[in-house]
Amino acid sequence: MIVRLRKGATQEQLDEVVRRIRQAGLRPDISIGIDTTVVGVVGNTQSVDENLFRELEWVDSVIRISRPYKLVSREYSPDTRRFRIGGALIGGGEVVIIAGPCSVEGREQILSLAEQLQAAGAQALRGGAYKPRTSPYAFQGLGEEGLRYLEETRSRTGLPLVTEATGTHHHPLPGGRVEDRAVLEAVVRTADVVQIGARNMKSYGLLEEAGRLAGAAGKAVLLKRGEAATLEEFLLAAEYLVLHGCPDVMLCLRGIRTFEAQSFQRYTSDIAAIAILKRESNLPVVFDPSHSTGDRRLVHAVALAAVAAGADGLLIEAHADPRAALSDGQQCVTPDELSRIVQDVRKLERMRS
Ligand code: PEP
Ligand code: MN
């Protein structure tokens, strides 16, 4: 529910609206604009009588949000949420390029690759220190050691870091060793943007905790769509993050499971979903052409399709030697290929505006 105050409403009048919201057991979310003040009523508003606010003469209108997701909807806030990722602004019209290897594989690898990707036009470095792998025998990531290499890479290059939190639990390492810090806390401390992966899109406990911790630390979250999640489920998962304290959330589409899976493409690229999310939600939308295709030969074309459909950012897996990558090598582009993609993205972007 949104309560819009009349132009010129005083602080005391705003306080009265806030008092009524709190008294009903709900939370106010105040936005003061140039000529109007709008107060979002956060919580379960179903049983709240609109007249509680309508009867106040300084209230202009009371609007119920029709969608099941509230804070992330366009109805709640017609403006796209914009925020900085290092020097780049996401949601501001320019396509933000996030690139990096699937996994951080070693110190030298990430340091030299980051420099090459930056030269190719990457504005943020993405690399997994904790990897959610389908097989328990596959490389699980370097854990804390990987985070340390990422930190060093950021101080050398200035690139902001996007890295995944796989859970609130401890991280198992080869040889039965377990790290002593919860993965989420370690990632929130290091990352500029905390990635929540497709497999965890419905881990509601993780979403709540990530919203709280990332929000308190002033960090953003990149939330990936589950491979079989509806867009409504996806938006409700984002709602968890925002409701629990993190307003700076990016929605990341990464392909969905269809009957096509695995033969020619790993997933099916959900391009139309970009335009749907842009219409339905106030959050910026990022597209991942790497996981959605699973094939480096398709990444360039699908990246451009995503930009044409309105994406605010791209998440592209890249590796100096894709054939030697410890994970997802078949879908990694080289720094040279990334550079060509970025050049075309910049051309297409000019046509969009
Ligand atoms: C990844 O980004 O490397 C990853 C594991 O992606 P997803 O969660 O989309 O499968
Ligand atoms: Mn990957």
Is 210 inside any structural domain? yes
| Residue 72: φ, ψ to 5° | -90, 0
| Domain count across the chain | 2
| Average pLDDT of the residues of the chain | 95
Among 22-31, 134-143, 283-292, top mean pLDDT goes to 283-292
271 and 231 housed in the same domain: yes
Strands 313-317, 88-90: parallel, antiparallel or unpaired by DSSP? unpaired
Diameter of the chain measured on Cα atoms: 69
190 and 230 housed in the same domain: yes
User: Please, which pLDDT band fits residue 172 given cuts at 50, 70 and 90?
Assistant: confident
Spell out the SS3 assignment of 265-328.
ECCECCCHHHHHHHHHECCCEEECHHHHHCCHHHHHHHHHHHHHCCCCEEEEEECCCHHHCCCC
| 128 CB within 6 A, ligand 1 | yes
- How far is the C-alpha of 137 from the C-alpha of 143, rounded, in Å? 16
Query: Contact, 104 vs 128, CB < 8 A?
Result: yes
Distance 126 CA to ligand 1 centre (A): 11
What's the confidence (pLDDT) of residue 180? 67
24 and 129 housed in the same domain: no
What is the CATH classification number for the domain harbouring 348? 3.20.20.70
248 and 176 housed in the same domain: yes
> Is the model's pLDDT at 261 over the cut of 70?
no
What is the CATH classification number for the domain harbouring 50? 3.30.70.1140
Rama region for 337: left / alpha / beta (φ>0; ψ in -120 to 50; rest):
alpha
> Is the model's pLDDT at 241 over the cut of 90?
yes
55 and 118 housed in the same domain: no
Is 346 inside any structural domain? yes
Is 329 inside any structural domain? yes
- How far is the C-alpha of 79 from the C-alpha of 97, rounded, in Å? 22
Is 55 inside any structural domain? yes
Query: Contact, 97 vs 126, CB < 8 A?
Result: no
For residue 218, how far is the Cα from the chain centroid? 14
94 and 27 housed in the same domain: no
Higher confidence at residue 17 or residue 177?
17
| 224 CB within 6 A, ligand 1 | yes
Atom of ligand 1 nearest to the CA of 224: 9
From 63, 93, 110, the end of a domain falls on 63
| 198 CB within 6 A, ligand 1 | yes
347 and 247 housed in the same domain: yes
What's the confidence (pLDDT) of residue 24? 94
Query: Contact, 29 vs 39, CB < 8 A?
Result: yes
Is 70 inside any structural domain? no
What is the average per-residue pLDDT within 142-153? 96
- Pick from 60-64, 168-172, 347-351: least confident: 168-172
What's the confidence (pLDDT) of residue 264? 92
User: Please, which pLDDT band fits residue 352 given cuts at 50, 70 and 90?
Assistant: confident
pLDDT tens column, 281-320: 999 999 999 999 999 999 999 999 999 999 999 999 999 9
What is the average per-residue pLDDT within 51-73? 95
Its domain, for residue 221, covers: 83-352
110 and 223 housed in the same domain: yes
What's the confidence (pLDDT) of residue 253? 98
What residue type is 91 in one-letter code? Answer: G
- How far is the C-alpha of 139 from the C-alpha of 340, rounded, in Å? 30
241 and 181 housed in the same domain: yes
What's the confidence (pLDDT) of residue 252? 99
What's the confidence (pLDDT) of residue 289? 98
| 291 CB within 6 A, ligand 1 | yes
From 14, 34, 63, the end of a domain falls on 63
What is the average per-residue pLDDT within 225-231? 98
93 and 18 housed in the same domain: no
95 and 59 housed in the same domain: no
9 and 102 housed in the same domain: no
pLDDT tens column, 31-49: 888 888 999 999 999 889 9
> Is the model's pLDDT at 157 over the cut of 70?
yes
pLDDT tens column, 75-124: 999 999 999 999 999 999 999 999 999 999 999 999 999 999 999 999 99
Q: Any alpha helices (H) in 218-270, and if so which ranges?
A: 231-243
Q: What is the pTM of this model?
A: 0.95
Instruction: Report the nearest-CA residue for atom 1 of ligand 1.
Output: 102
249: which 2 tokens? 């959330």
| 345 CB within 6 A, ligand 1 | no
What's the confidence (pLDDT) of residue 32? 87
What's the confidence (pLDDT) of residue 67? 93
Q: Count the neighbouring beta carbons within 10 Å of the beta carbon of residue 152.
A: 14
